Amino acid sequence: MLTKRAITSIWYVALISVIVWFGGEPGFTALTVVLGVLAALEFYRMVAASKRPPLTYFGLVWTALFILSRSSGLLSLLETRFNPELITPLLLTSALVLSLIGLLVRRQKEGAFTSWVWTIAGILYIGWLLSHLVALRGLDSGRNLVFLVLFVTWISDTTAFLVGRRFGRHKMAPAISPAKTWEGTMGGVCGAIVVSILFFTPTLFQLPLGCGQVIILSVLVSILGQVGDLIESLLKRNLGVKDSGRLMPGHGGVLDRIDSLILAGIVVYYYAIWVM
């Protein structure tokens, strides 16, 4: 009988796969904005619960703007009136300056700069880093590269969990995530290699990369994805919470589900623009 965790995973994977395949770049951008805003909301709620109230609404808006700023379709519309290269520095500058001004008009002055730091951290951690997935979708072979990120990350996470639960003996980072083991990490890497060979050379999702490059990239995705999971675990431990939210039964919140994708998308994006 399928558990809540398994059912949630199936629906999650199916929904995102359909949008990536049929939604084009606009559909994927919209999906990423929704997931990013929900993850940022969970982030700010965790911070607020730890008595460090951030500028939540400001952070949500700028998270969405950072993700939208990497959309190739949107950039092409702005190109005739505005230099697209200025968008990122403009967003970063406005995020810093306007949030600082917001501290002055806010009623609660105690711990104001702590709140400011957490607000900017949420924008950069979720908005800026997640925007690389949107930028990746806009590249040549972008759809297949996004599928590489998604499938390799999902299989890596799943095999790491299963291998770690069955064979895990040596703790990897007990102070951060006591359940994670080196055996599980290696299982995740092996799972990533297998799925990359089965799906990305050169049959179902064709990529302008050789078999060796796809394997190297899948290993990097698996490692960075697991690092991303550890980073979020450290965040939750620092803030004293178990899960980022309850939106996804068996998994916790949206941030719990996309924490691996945040870093995995970055490594594939920069690999693609430098190597392909």
Give the tens place of pLDDT for each residue, 109-147. 778 899 999 999 999 999 999 999 999 999 988 999 999
Indicate the pTM of the whole model. Answer: 0.91
By C-alpha distance, which of 156, 203, 148, 202 is closest to 180?
156
Better-predicted residue by pLDDT, 2 or 232: 232
Question: Does position 1 have pLDDT exceeding 50, yes or no?
Answer: no
Q: Which residue has the higher pLDDT, 210 or 156?
A: 156
Give the Å distances, CA to CA, from 150 to 9, 30, 118, 144.
12, 17, 28, 10
State mean pLDDT over 71-98.
88
pLDDT attached to residue 181: 93
The identity of residue 3, as a single letter, is T
Nearest to 134 by CA among 186, 77, 73, 89: 73
Lowest mean pLDDT among 1-15, 59-73, 79-93, 260-274: 1-15
pLDDT of residue 157 exceeding 70, the answer is yes
* Residue 222 reports pLDDT greater than 80: yes
Q: Give the mean pLDDT of 233-239.
A: 91
Question: Would the pLDDT of 203 be above 70?
Answer: no
Residue 251 has pLDDT above 70, yes or no: no
Of 33-42, 53-62, 129-138, 245-254, least confident by mean pLDDT is 245-254
pLDDT at 199: 82
